[in-house]
A and B are shown apart, each in its own frame.
Chain A
Amino acid sequence: MGEFTMSVPAKGRFSINRRYLPYLLSLPALLTCIGILIPFFTAVIYSLQRYRLSQPWARKFNWGENYLNFMTDASFWNTLKVSMTYATLTVGIELLLGLGIALLLQRRSTFNNFVSIMLLMPLMTAPALAALMWKLMTNPGFGILSYFATLLGIKDLNWASDPATAMMTVVIVDVWVYTPFIMILLLAGLRSLPKQPFEAAELDGVPRMFVFWKITLPMLTPFLLTATLFRVIESIQQFDIIYAMTQGGPGDTLTVFQVEAYLNFFQSTNVGRSAALMMILWAITYFLSNIFIKNWLRLREKARGEA
């Protein structure tokens, strides 16, 4: 084997056997991987156990029983439904709003650049703090938004305290926090698109809507997919906004996966059920990520082929 030599200016030289270099370079990734895999497999083992911290004597492997119990557990199906509804609503609204704002700010100008930076402010706020802020603003007694609602003739709007409006309230908070994320990604995408197709369309007098549907949107799809992937993964794992505002209530209105798993572990000390819930959430996230990544790769290949 040859010797790989790296020189350090002015200080001398050191050498590393070329055989070990790949291992050395991949060591950080390997260590990170181990750091992730150990807790992951620990959680897998816990999820296959009947394991309550308050009943240590009853701890044993029940293999798939925790998962099988979910099949007949109404609260699990409610959790699945609530999580999916929350993710669909938040990501859908954020995509529409983010795209709209990005289109408005597409043209480079001092004003547009300033506005795009200012719009990032909610993203700088910790979601739990944003939730507490919105909790105050939606307080039926003294909240500013409750006051505005009254001016609009909407009385007795109890926001997150009412099962009928609780989902809407937390979705609004999520949209306020995360729309800037989508906006900034799509704005970067829009500004990086090649100019020629748009100039040609303009010369030909093609209507703007046609340009949007037939040129802008297809070319922007990889960016839309990337933004959607990130937001779906994060949204389906939502915890802080919902827990800070309602702890999953009223009733079971907002018991998403993370809230249910958190309460199962820290309050009920039911480690087995909590871990099984997390495994289901991981499977859903993995499944969705695969779909998005496959489509993203397909589009990239297509774009290369066309180029």
Chain B
Amino acid sequence: MHEKEKNLIKTYVDGGIDRRTLIRGLGVMGVTAATAGVLLNSVATEALAQNGFDWQKHKGTKIKLLLNKHPYADAMIANLENFKKLTGMEVEYDVFPEDVYFDKVTAALSSGSSEYDAFMTGAYMTWTYGPAGWIDDLNEYINDSAKTNPDYNWEDMLEGVRNSCAWNGQPGGELGSADAKQWCIPWGYEQNNLSYNARMFKAGGLTVPTNIDELAATAAQAKTDGLASYGIGVRGSRSWATIHPGFLSGYANFGQKDLNVSADGKLSAAMNTDVSRDFHAKWVGMIQDSGAPDWSTHTWYQVGTDLGAGKSAMIFDADILGYFMNGGDNAEAGNLAYSPFAANPDASAPTPNIWIWSLAMASAGKQKDATWYFLQWASGPEHAVFGATQMDFVNPVRKSVWANTDFRARLEKSYPGYVEMHDVSAPGAKIHFTPQPLFFDLTTEWAATLQKMVANELPVDEGLDQLAQSVDKQLKEAGLG
């Protein structure tokens, strides 16, 4: 079955024909795009099996995964049969919605349970999981040629993303340093940039803002002119997740940091500088003037859906929110466009803080070598191409996928400006936080302080002084300051 089609695809994979000829040939054979995707990946998997690496070494072994309900997980599940065929391994998985996902991970890992061998995580979470001894340093697998297939190409991972998942465990230690442990493997990631409603911008004669002042002015105009219910969507809930997207991306663009690290490794608050005060004042003013009325309850979900529903004119948030809202049955599907965003008018390029959905290995797992087989397949180049071209595995973390012409053509066709946005901001994209064990305490308090400022309960200057004082106190109590 599908032998003729497979042969045609194999010729394409071997470079015998170009993409246009392949598509024309498959069309003649009556193959749908979805079937073509599966066949293409099946052929790529067969090619993978022929690189001399013993993929069948753990045949018959069963591993179990803990997954968040996410398009990245959906893409992996859609391709999972090929992994099973390649390795002869069995894979079970549990999928939980994001609202409860990290509670489930914390409960599973802290209990020392060996139920799950690998799981999805964010890099920030590994700052807790790593020092706690719940996850393994994956360098020993990546660097072991007996365990890692020769085509894995670790260097293909975007450097800022790869480094953001590596930390030496020292509070304040540089991410990706020579002595860093690779706590997780980047899988897919989000930059924080502008996604805007091009239809509204055109109707209102608005131009795409290029710095924080223009952002506030454009948002205000979009609201005043009645183009949308409110001008700008950013997160505002009482959570660390309010700080890490647009807010920190803009903040870092002014050269500002969350914490100072002294020569002797002591940490102290760094958010009450004059530049920081100025940035906070502009951010707070922008939300007060043109943010969502119920901003203080907005998570990524409300930010995204309001953009898709046409309630907001633009968002300064995860680029993939803009990506997903431009499709499906969203009211504004097809109307969204994208732009890189540098908040600081004097900055040469954007510096987006990033969120990385990653894969990590549970220390309590009983079959680690087999688990690594899954991890290297799921984060490998073949699956990345399959996910990016056939599913919604966006943004990929591999340079080779970003160079893939099919992938770029797909984005350029339906997501105007997305590729350029990524290319412009990728060099400055990394985690801009200081890695340390109190990350969630301090950022949640930062978010609560922002809420008080927006509600006019606290002036910006006083709020930042109070926050810095509290941060220093907590760092000292934890032996970090």
Q: How far is the CB of B53 from chain A (nearest CB, A)?
A: 37
* Interface of B, helix, strand, loop or mixed by DSSP: helix
Stretch binding the partner chain, chosen from B5-13, B126-134, B155-163, B364-372: B126-134
Q: Taking each of A245, A250, A270, which has the highest tally of chain B beta carbons within 10 Å of its own beta carbon?
A: A250
B-facing mask of A261-284, CB < 8 A → 1, else 0? 001001111100000000000000
B266 contacts chain A at the CB level, 8 A cutoff: no
B-facing mask of A248-270, CB < 8 A → 1, else 0? 11111000000000010011111
Which A residues touch B455, using CB under 8 A?
Answer: 162-164, 250-251
Partner among B133, B293, B438 whose Cβ is within 8 Å of the Cβ of A140: B293
Which A residues touch B457, using CB under 8 A?
Answer: 163, 251
Which B residues touch A160, using CB under 8 A?
Answer: 294, 297
Which B residues touch A162, using CB under 8 A?
Answer: 296, 455
Which A residues touch B229, using CB under 8 A?
Answer: 141
A-facing mask of B236-260, CB < 8 A → 1, else 0? 0111100000000000000000000
B224 contacts chain A at the CB level, 8 A cutoff: no
The answer to whether B451 and A139 have CB atoms under 8 Å apart is: no
Which A residues touch B237, using CB under 8 A?
Answer: 247, 249
Stretch binding the partner chain, chosen from A53-61, A115-123, A176-184, A290-298: A53-61
A160 to B293, CA, bound (A): 11
The answer to whether A268 and B438 have CB atoms under 8 Å apart is: yes
The answer to whether B132 and A56 have CB atoms under 8 Å apart is: yes
A231 contacts chain B at the CB level, 8 A cutoff: no
Within 8 A of A (CB), among B416-469: 437-438, 440-441, 444, 447-449, 451-452, 454-455, 457-458
B207 contacts chain A at the CB level, 8 A cutoff: no
The 9 A-B residue pairs with the shortest CB-CB distance in the complex, in nearest-first order:
A249-B238, A54-B437, A161-B294, A140-B293, A251-B452, A250-B296, A54-B128, A250-B451, A268-B441
Within 8 A of B (CB), among A135-190: 135, 139-141, 156, 158-164
B contact residues vs A (CB 8 Å cutoff) = 102-103, 106, 110, 127-128, 131-133, 229, 237-240, 292-297, 311, 437-438, 440-441, 444, 447-449, 451-452, 454-455, 457-458, 477-479
Give the interface size bracket for A toward B. Answer: 20 to 34
Nearest-CB residue, chain B, relative to A56: B132
A140 to B458, CA, bound (A): 23
Known A-B contacts A163-B457, A249-B238, A268-B441; A53 and B293 likewise in contact (beta carbons under 8 Å):
no
A239 to B293, CA, bound (A): 24
Q: How far is the CB of B158 from chain A (nearest CB, A)?
A: 27
The answer to whether B311 and A141 have CB atoms under 8 Å apart is: yes
The answer to whether A247 and B238 have CB atoms under 8 Å apart is: yes
Partner among A53, A57, A135, A250 whose Cβ is within 8 Å of the Cβ of B238: A250
